[in-house]
Amino acid sequence: GDSVTQTEGPVTVSESESLIINCTYSATSIAYPNLFWYVRYPGEGLQLLLKVITAGQKGSSRGFEATYNKETTSFHLQKASVQESDSAVYYCALGDRGSNAKLTFGKGTKLSVKS
């Protein structure tokens, strides 16, 4: 089946440092999956951070970026300078392009940013 593997947490970084959370996927039943990063802030529900539906393209939001790399089947999340408010759990996910719209999630990476 399809699967997503991401950096095991927890990850702790200091404010203004750079961040990378690795995500690789295996899409055995989907030729060209759509790729997503979702985030869960403390006390809140899952929300979409960014998505990319075309291989080779980059998505960005709130200072975060991720590039859809079909060759390495990766979709790493990066930020040049993190803030304390970025502390959250980040989930990488893939979805089918077809009518089967379910998402396959990774296990999440808990990020703590120290001030």
Partner 1 sequence: NSKVIQTPRYLVKGQGQKAKMRCIPEKGHPVVFWYQQNKNNEFKFLINFQNQEVLQQIDMTEKRFSAECPSNSPCSLEIQSSEAGDSALYLCASSLRLGSYAEQFFGPGTRLTVL
- Positions that interact with partner 1 (CB under 8 A): 33-34, 38, 44-48, 51, 53, 91, 94-105, 107-108
Closer of 8 and 15 to partner 1 (Cβ): 8
Of 40, 39, 23, 9, the closest CA to residue 110 belongs to: 9
Minimum CB–partner distance for residue 99 and partner 1 (Å): 6
Minimum CB–partner distance for residue 63 and partner 1 (Å): 19
Cα–Cα distance, 17 to 84 (Å, whole number): 11
Closer of 48 and 80 to partner 1 (Cβ): 48
Cα–Cα distance, 89 to 113 (Å, whole number): 12
3-state secondary structure of 73: coil
Minimum CB–partner distance for residue 64 and partner 1 (Å): 16
